[in-house]
Chain A
C-alpha cells in the first residue's frame, strides 16, 4: 500500500482508536463561554495548533524517528540496538510528562495511547510496540502514533502531519456537535487553516531532530485549567 493511502488511513477519524470521543479541550472551552461561534472556534484552533498540536506532532515525529533507529527486535531483550530504541522512547515519555502539567491531560493522553496501541498491535503484530515504556496507564498517545506511523511506512514529517490534523479536526467536529455550527462553514475554516497545519507539522518534524530535552514545550494555561475543570464534571459528552 502506498504511503499516501496509509497517511489517509491513519488521519481518518474512523481509524479505530476512539478519537471521536475527544474534543481536545473544546467541550470545556464551550462550557466556559469562551468558544461560542465560528470566529472564536478559529482562534481556539489557532491556539491549539501553536501549543498542543505542535508538541504532540513533535513527539510523534520523534517517536517515529526513534523507531527507525534499527529494525524491531525479533527477540526483545537480546537486541542491543533495541535498547537504544527503548531508552529513546522512555526518554520521550518522561519529557512529554514534563510538558503535560495537568494530570487530567496526562491521563487522557495515556488512555488515547492505549486505544491506539490496541489498534496498532492488531494491524501490525510484528511492529516494535514492546519497546514502548511500560508506564502505568499506558504510553502517551504521540509516542504510539510515532510507532504506528513507522509501522505503516510513514516518515516523521508525515506522522507530524497526522498528529496536527487530529488536533484540529477533533475539536472542529466536536464544535459542530456542541455549538450546532454549520458543518460547511467549519470545513471552510479547516481548509483556511490547512497552510497553518502544514507549517506546524513541518516545524514539529524539524524540531523532532533535536534531543528530547529541546523538543517544543508550548504551554497554554487555559488548556490545563479547562482540562482539570472538565475532569470534575459528572456528565459530559466528550472524554476530554
Chain B
C-alpha cells in the first residue's frame, strides 16, 4: 500500500495557527482535534493494520513561521511481515520555520516478528525554531523476537547537522540485543528537544536514561532503554515534564512506580578533570582490577 499525507500550518496575523493544508489517505489519515492554546493538534489515524512489509508511507509536515503544531498517533504502529522480501517504509519529513514549534509525540513503533521495516525521519529546524521529537521502538510484541527494523533520524538545525542516528534491531543487526547496544532491553527510545530559549543542560545519567546535550545548538537528547513500553514512556515523559521546571535535575522512575528527582551535574566536571590531570588510575569500577604493563 502506498500513501502520502501532508500538513501545512501557518500562523495568522493574530498569532493563531491555522492549517493551510491537511490531507491524507488510508492508512495515513490526519485528524485535527481542538487545541486551546492557539496552536493545532493533529492525530495520525491508522486507517489499516500495519505497516505491512511492502507498504510505502510518507508524511510531510511544514510548520510555517510562528505556527505551533502538536502531532500524535492514536495507537502504536505495529510493523508486520508482508510478502516475502518486501520492506515497509515510513518517511516523515518535517520543516520547522522561524519562531515555529513542532511537537512530534507519536505512540511506539513495535517491530513484530518477521517484519522488515525502515522508519526514516528528516527534519529541518530554523535557527529559532522549537522541536520536541520522540521516538520509541519496541522490539517484538510480548514474548517474541523482532523482525528487521531500522529507525533513522536526521535533524538539521539552521542548516547544520544536529543529530544523525540510525538504530537497527533484528536478525540483520549483529549484537543489537547484546551489551554494547541494548543489553537485552526490549524497549528503547529517545526524546530530542531543540529550544533556543532553554539554556544547555549538563549531561547526566541515571540507570538507563541519559541526558545528552548536543553540539551545534541549544539541543538535548534523552536516550533510554527499558524493560517495557510503559517504563520507557515514563522515563521520557518525566524528562519532558521536568524541562521547564528544573533544568539541572533528571527524573527517574523508582521501581517503575512514580518518579524521584535527582540533582545531577555540579561535581561531574570536577571528577572528570581530576582524572584528566592524573591520567589512568589503579583500580576502578565495581570490581578489583590489577594494572598490568602494556
Contacts and interface: CB of A to CB of B under 8 A. Distances in A.
A29 B152 contact: no
B276 to A, nearest CB: 9
A130 B244 CA distance: 43
B289 A35 contact: no
Nearest to B272: A231
Contacts of B154: 213, 217
Contact of B178 (A44, A95, A178, A231): A44
A224 interface: yes
Contact of B161 (A21, A31, A97): A97
A234 B275 contact: yes
A216 B166 contact: yes
A219 B165 CA distance: 6
A225 B252 CA distance: 14
A80 interface: no
A17 to B, nearest CB: 13
B283 A237 contact: yes
Most B CB atoms within 10 A — which of A25, A52, A220? A220
Contacts of B289: 177-178, 237
Provide the main secondary structure of the chain A interface.
helix
Interface in A22-74: 25, 27-35, 40, 43-52
B197 interface: no
Interface in B259-286: 267-268, 271-272, 274-275, 279-286
A103 interface: yes
A224 to B, nearest CB: 5
Contacts of B181: 47, 50-51, 220-223
B167 A219 contact: yes
A25 B285 CA distance: 12
Interface in B206-223: 208-210, 212-216, 221, 223
B92 interface: no
Given A31-B287, A50-B176, A237-B289, A231 B183 contact: no
Given A31-B287, A43-B178, A239 B280 contact: yes
B164 A217 contact: yes
A218 interface: yes
B246 to A, nearest CB: 19
Contact of A233 (B188, B204, B216, B285): B285
Nearest to B162: A98
A33 B179 CA distance: 9
B280 A228 contact: no
Interface in A80-117: 94-95, 97-99, 101-104, 106
Given A50-B173, A236-B285, A99 B164 contact: yes
A106 to B, nearest CB: 7
10 contacts: A43-B178, A97-B161, A98-B155, A99-B165, A104-B203, A177-B290, A221-B188, A223-B181, A225-B225, A239-B279
The 6 closest A-B pairs by CB, nearest first: A47-B175, A47-B180, A43-B178, A46-B175, A34-B179, A31-B285
